[in-house]
């Protein structure tokens, strides 16, 4: 706590304990009450504070353990066979950062889970494999590496890999900790798998045209009807944008995945973005409210988070807590790097809690500790 934020000023609690006050506090406690000034400075911090610590999970360390899970337990036993990544300071809520959960799931060819649903929302970013699929409310979506797929709040969903595919590994992102904290989560299982209600890939083939929406179909759900954002169209879009835009000093060329029906985040509680760091890009630092989980989708580089350097390459996962200074650097002078990320910005924004600050010293770059 620096001097800028001293509690020894008018407007902050500055009461000294006395025997009389202690007796008073005890009396209040007996009635389910307390004196605000005994906790006020704690619960009214000067600036946003995160409980999470920045962390990086190296894929090369985790991959064999993820694969090993498929030898140790069956999907029938495990529900879903997932290694989850947990923040050192958020083990109590099983969160990777803030109120966001993330995990790495493996599915062998021919395996599939039973269908379930919950108030928590989920998303997936494909890391490896062929022939993987997700079924969302009866819509089967085929998945390829770097595809981004959503299974929103209360949709039935299940996952699998075609028998003639290759072992698939993907990253799961959920807001389970948040929805639990808000005391609103639920869970239901379906016996077996869903019946398909539409041809395979119906959703991306119907809603995948830029700026084109079928006016004869009703869509009144509070999330995107486009369940999959394919890398094979997303990456070219980044390259096109790069040709006509100066890279944003903080984020390079960045695109928010959006609901084409309203331009909003893809789901009500979690957003996601993809960003391209041009060759040699050295991003400047800022901090803002909202928690983020990143996966490197392409290339290699490093991020400096609250003064600490985290080196990443393809498939590594790391997190940026709320109000942590962060900046991203591409280590290559010849190739671009791409970062996928998901976040709780829909929550932060809808509740009016977003704020941002730019790092002004040292030309915008943090000093590495």
Q: Which of residues 251-290 bind a second copy (CB under 8 A)?
A: 251, 253-263, 266, 268-269, 273-274, 289
Interface stretch with a second copy, choices 7-15, 129-137, 279-287, 327-335 (CB under 8 A) = 7-15
DSSP tag of 265: B
Q: Is 19 in the site for a second copy (CB under 8 A)?
A: no
Nearer to a second copy, 236 or 367 (CB): 236
Which residues within the stretch 37-76 sit at the binding site for a second copy (CB under 8 A)? 37, 39-40, 43-51, 55, 57, 61-62, 65, 68-69, 72-73, 76
In the Cβ-directed half-sphere of 113, how many Cα atoms lie within 13 Å? 25
Q: What distance in Å separates the CA atoms of residue 328 and residue 310, rounded to the nearest whole number?
A: 10
Question: Cβ of residue 182: shortest distance to a second copy, in angstroms?
Answer: 6
Nearer to a second copy, 245 or 362 (CB): 245
Residue indicated by tokens 């005994």? 38
Q: Are 150 and 101 in contact (CB under 8 A)?
A: no
Question: Cβ of residue 98: shortest distance to a second copy, in angstroms?
Answer: 6
Which residues within the stretch 175-204 sit at the binding site for a second copy (CB under 8 A)? 176-177, 179-191, 198-202
Which residues within the stretch 211-240 sit at the binding site for a second copy (CB under 8 A)? 211-216, 222, 224, 226, 229, 233-234, 237-238, 240
Q: Take residue 364 and report the two structure tokens written for it.
A: 């915008």
Nearer to a second copy, 54 or 333 (CB): 54
Query: 241 phi and psi, to 5 degrees?
Result: -60, -35
Helix (H, G, I), strand (E, B) or coil at 29: helix
Q: Take residue 232 and report the two structure tokens written for it.
A: 């094979």
Nearer to a second copy, 304 or 345 (CB): 345
Q: Is 313 in the site for a second copy (CB under 8 A)?
A: no
Q: Is 84 in the site for a second copy (CB under 8 A)?
A: yes
Which residues within the stretch 133-172 sit at the binding site for a second copy (CB under 8 A)? 153-154
Nearer to a second copy, 352 or 368 (CB): 352
CA-to-CA separations, 173 to 109, 200, 336, in angstroms, rounded:
22, 23, 25
Q: Take residue 331 and report the two structure tokens written for it.
A: 């280590």
DSSP tag of 144: -
What binding mask, one character per residue, do residues 92-131 give for a second copy by CB under 8 A, x or -? Answer: -xx---xx-x-x---------xxxx-xxx-----------
Nearer to a second copy, 209 or 280 (CB): 209
With vertex at residue 317, the alpha carbon angle to CA 164 and CA 118, rounded to the nearest 5 degrees, is 70
Contact with a second copy (CB under 8 A): which of 54, 70, 86, 168? 86
Q: Take residue 199 and report the two structure tokens written for it.
A: 């041809």
Burial of residue 27 (CB within 10 Å: 0-12, 13-18, 19+) is exposed
Question: Cβ of residue 55: shortest distance to a second copy, in angstroms?
Answer: 6
Contact with a second copy (CB under 8 A): which of 78, 163, 196, 197? 78
Q: Is 34 in the site for a second copy (CB under 8 A)?
A: yes
Question: Cβ of residue 115: shortest distance to a second copy, in angstroms?
Answer: 8
Q: What distance in Å separates the CA atoms of residue 100 and residue 179, rounded to the nearest whole number?
A: 10
With vertex at residue 239, the alpha carbon angle to CA 237 and CA 240, rounded to the nearest 5 degrees, is 65
Q: Is 358 in the site for a second copy (CB under 8 A)?
A: no
**Strand-pair partners of 139:** 136
């Amino acid at each position: 706590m620096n001097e800028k934020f001293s509690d020894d000023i008018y407007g902050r609690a500055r009461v000294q304990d006395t025997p009389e006050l202690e007796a008073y506090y005890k009396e209040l406690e007996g009635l389910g009450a307390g004196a605000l000034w005994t906790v006020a400075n704690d619960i009214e911090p000067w600036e946003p504070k995160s409980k999470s610590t920045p962390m990086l999970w190296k894929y090369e360390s985790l991959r064999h353990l993820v694969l090993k899970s498929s030898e140790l337990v069956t999907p029938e036993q495990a529900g879903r066979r997932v290694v989850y990544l947990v923040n050192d300071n958020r083990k109590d809520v099983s969160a990777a950062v803030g109120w966001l959960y993330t995990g790495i799931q493996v599915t062998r060819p021919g395996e599939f889970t039973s269908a379930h649903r919950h108030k928590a929302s989920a998303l997936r970013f494909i890391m490896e494999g062929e022939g993987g699929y997700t079924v969302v409310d009866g819509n089967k979506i085929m998945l390829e590496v770097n595809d981004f797929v959503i299974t929103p709040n209360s949709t039935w969903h299940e996952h699998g890999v075609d028998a003639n595919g290759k072992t698939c590994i993907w990253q799961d992102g959920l807001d389970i900790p948040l929805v639990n904290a808000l005391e609103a989560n639920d869970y239901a299982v379906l016996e077996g798998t869903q019946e398909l209600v539409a041809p395979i890939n119906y959703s991306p083939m119907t809603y995948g045209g830029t700026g084109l929406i079928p006016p004869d179909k009703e869509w009144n759900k509070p999330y995107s009807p486009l369940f999959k954002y394919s890398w094979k169209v997303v990456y070219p879009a980044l390259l096109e944008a790069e040709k006509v835009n100066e890279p944003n000093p903080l984020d390079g060329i960045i695109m928010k995945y959006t609901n084409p029906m309203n331009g909003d985040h893809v789901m009500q509680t979690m957003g996601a973005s993809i960003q391209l760091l041009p060759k040699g890009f050295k991003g400047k630092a800022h901090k803002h409210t909202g928690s983020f989980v990143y996966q490197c989708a392409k290339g290699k580089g490093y991020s400096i988070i609250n003064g600490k350097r985290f080196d990443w390459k393809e498939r590594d996962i790391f997190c940026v807590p709320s109000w942590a200074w962060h900046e991203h650097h591409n280590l290559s002078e010849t190739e671009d790097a791409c970062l996928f990320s998901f976040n709780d910005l829909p929550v932060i924004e809808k509740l009016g809690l977003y704020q941002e600050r730019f790092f002004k010293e040292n030309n915008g770059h943090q000093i590495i500790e």
